[in-house]
Structure 1
Amino acid sequence: MNLEIQIPESLTNDIKALKEKLANIELNLQPKQAPQYYTRKEVAKMFNVDLSTIHNWTVKGVLTAYQIGGRVLYKANDIENAIVELKK
C-alpha cells in the first residue's frame, strides 16, 4: 500500500526559504578570526621606511594606530586599506 502525500507548492517554497535563512545564520555563527597587529618597527620594516615615516603617516591619518599600555600597534587590515591604487 503506497501512500502519496501532496505538499502544496507554497509550503515547499517556505521550506526552501527557511533552509536558506538557517544557512545564513550558521555562516554568521562562525567564529571570527582575531585581528593581527603589528608594531611600529614591523610596519616600518614592511614598507622599508624609517620609524619617523610611520609616525608621520599616523599623524596625517594615513595609518590608524591603536595603543595598549605603552605599545603602539597597527591592525593588518588597516595597513592593507591604507594602500591605495594609483590612477593611470
Structure 2
Amino acid sequence: MSNNNNSNDNPLLVQMTKDELIRDFEQVVRKVVNQMQVEQQTSKEEKQAYTRVETAELLDVSLTTLHNWNKKEILKPCAKIGRNVYYSKNDIQAKLKIN
C-alpha cells in the first residue's frame, strides 16, 4: 500500500461548532438562491413566448382584459398547447410601445 498524499481516499475532517456549521450552510444556500435568481432573470429575458399570466403582468392588465383583447384581435396568442396559451415576445413588446 503506497502512501500518496494526493489521494482522495483519505477524508479531511474539520472540527467546527454548530454555529459555524449553520453559518457555512446559510452561505451556501444564499449562493444557490442568488444563482437561481440570476438564471431566472436571464431566462425571462431570453424567452420568446410568455404565458397568459406572464403576459398580463408584463402589460399590467387583468386576465379578463387579455381574454377580451384576444376576442377583439387586439393581442392574439401565438400558440396554444393543451390548455396553455402563449403570447409572442414581439407582440407583447409592440403592445407595450403602443400603450
Structure 2-normalised TM-score?
0.46
Whether 2:72 is the aligned partner of 1:64: answer: no
Whether 2:84 is the aligned partner of 1:79: answer: no
Distance in 1 (alpha carbons) for counterparts of 2:47 and 2:68: 23
Matched with 2:61 is: 49
Distance in 1 (alpha carbons) for counterparts of 2:50 and 2:98: 22
CA deviations 1:37-66 (Å, max 9, x no partner) are 101101111122110000011111111212
Which residues of structure 1 form unaligned runs of 5+? Answer: 1-33
CA RMSD of aligned residues (A): 2.2
**Pairwise mapping of residues 6-25 of structure 1 onto structure 2 (< 5 A)?**
none
**Identity rate of aligned residues, in percent?**
40
Distance in 1 (alpha carbons) for counterparts of 2:98 and 2:76: 19
Distance in 2 (alpha carbons) for counterparts of 1:38 and 1:50: 15
Q: Could you say which structure has the higher helix fraction? A: 2
Question: In the alignment, residue 36 of structure 1 is paired with which amino acid?
Answer: Q
Matched with 1:17 is: none
Shift of 1:82: 3.3
